[in-house]
Structure 1
Amino acid sequence: MAKLFFRYAAMNAGKSTALLQVAYNYEERGHRVRLFTAQVDDRYGRGQITSRLGPQREAELFQPDTDFLALFQTGGKVACILIDEAQFLQKNQVWALHELAHLHNVPVICYGLRTDFQGELFSGSASLLALADEMDEMKTICDCGRKATMNMRVDANNRKVTEGQQVEIGGNARYRSVCGRCFRQS
């Protein structure tokens, strides 16, 4: 029986790298996968899943109105659906992915952040935490050496930003993966 998986972590934990490895493993065995990433994420160009280690791959884009059930009906047989930047999913999309796993027997593996720069859940992450059959926390470390669980937004002077819109796309120049202690002390 297929499941809905949520693999989450702070930034820079290797989520995209892991997703690309899973896709490779399926395809090496002759299985077809569909890869999706959020249209809002343009750090490496739209429609690209990119690992900081270098590997990159084209992916289909999802946006707030993407209907995953309709895409599944028209896309042909698929062995697995892989979603990067899953924190940007909408609640109804997570329900659709849950349906694909449970009624259409297609494993769905979602990779994303759990919380934003203020420690608040993203909508997609909240829904995945509620509906996922299996959840795995991927690990990364804070500069202090502790496990990083928070995403801290920083300004051009590397000072913590505490206000602003929830979504502001950026990489290492805008965000730091930090432990709870460093998040509080900054």
Structure 2
Amino acid sequence: MAQLYFYYSAMNAGKSTSLLQSAYNYYEKGMRTIIYTSEMDHRFNMPKISSRIGASSPAKLYNSNTLLFEEISTEKKNSPVDCVLVDESQFLTRNQVKSLTNVVDILHIPVLCYGLRTDFRGELFPGSQYLLAWSDKLVELKTVCSCGRKATMVIRFDGIETPYKEGNQVQIGGNDMYISVCRKHYSQALNDNFIKVS
């Protein structure tokens, strides 16, 4: 029975690695997947998903205008689709999350979405908000703060260890701009007691 899954976490919890492992599991059994990632993440020269441990896979790009249900329906008419995997799913729109529920309910294809739950201000991303509301299964992928507690928050910093308290929700970057921390150290950072740990 097809279901909509949302695998969420703070940064550096292995979301892309988990997605790539799931895709490989389908591939190994001779099954076909469609893999999407957001075109907002333009750090790579070609459309692909890359993990920090070196694994990668080609991917289709989506943006806020991509009609996911229609694209996946067309793909299914051409050849069976066994699973759809979506990286950076926090960037999905409300309508796109709704269309992914239709991929599950009408096309009977499982959909696995991977993304951040909240931004550097502790606010939900739109895609994450509706995935949390409408997914059949929610799976938290865990990472740790430097103190050993579970990291649930993300700090954006300016490269000289000063945390941002305001700004645009989306600014693409990696370890050069973001660090995952526990709630206690997130609060301390916003109160100007932040010391970046490596």
TM-score with structure 2 length normalisation?
A: 0.92
AA at the equivalent of 2:9: A
Q: 2:55 maps to which residue?
A: 55
Q: Is the 8 A contact 1:39 1:46 kept in 2?
A: no
Q: Tell me how far 1:145 sits from its aligned partner.
A: 1.1
TM-aligned CA distance change 1:122 to 1:46, over 3 Å: farther
Instruction: Give me the whole-angstrom Cα distance separating, in 1, the residues matched to 2:69 and 2:87.
Output: 18
Give the whole-Å Cα distance in 2 for the aligned partners of 1:32 and 1:68: 17
Which of 74, 79, 83 aligns to 2:82? It is 79
**Pairing partner for 1:113 from 105, 116, 125:** 116
Identify unmatched segments of 5+ residues in structure 2: 190-198
Aligned match of 1:3: 3
Letter in 2 for 1:150: M
Larger Rg computed on CA atoms: 2
Deviations 1:71-100 (A, max 9, x none): 022113200000000000000000000011
- After superposition, the CA RMSD in angstroms is 0.8
**How many aligned positions are there?**
186
* Letter in structure 1 aligned against 2:13: A
Superposed structure 1 runs of 4+ greater than 3 Å apart: none
Q: Aligned pair 1:131/2:134, yes or no?
A: yes
Whole-angstrom CA distance in 1 between matches of 2:11 and 2:46: 19
Please report the TM-score for the alignment, with normalisation by the length of structure 1: 0.98
**Counterparts of 1:130 and 1:171 in 2: how far apart (Å)?**
27
Match among 132, 144, 147 for residue 144 of structure 1: 147
- Amino acid in the other structure paired with 2:170: V
Fraction of identical pairs, as percent: 49
| In the alignment, structure 1 residue 96 sits paired with structure 2 residue 80 | no
| Structure 1 position 43, deviation (Å) | 2.3
Contact 2:73 2:107 in 1 (8 A): no
Corresponding residue number in structure 1 for 2:14: 14
Alignment-derived partner of residue 27 in structure 1: 27
Give how far 1:46 is off. 4.7
Distance apart, 1:56 and its partner CA: 1.1
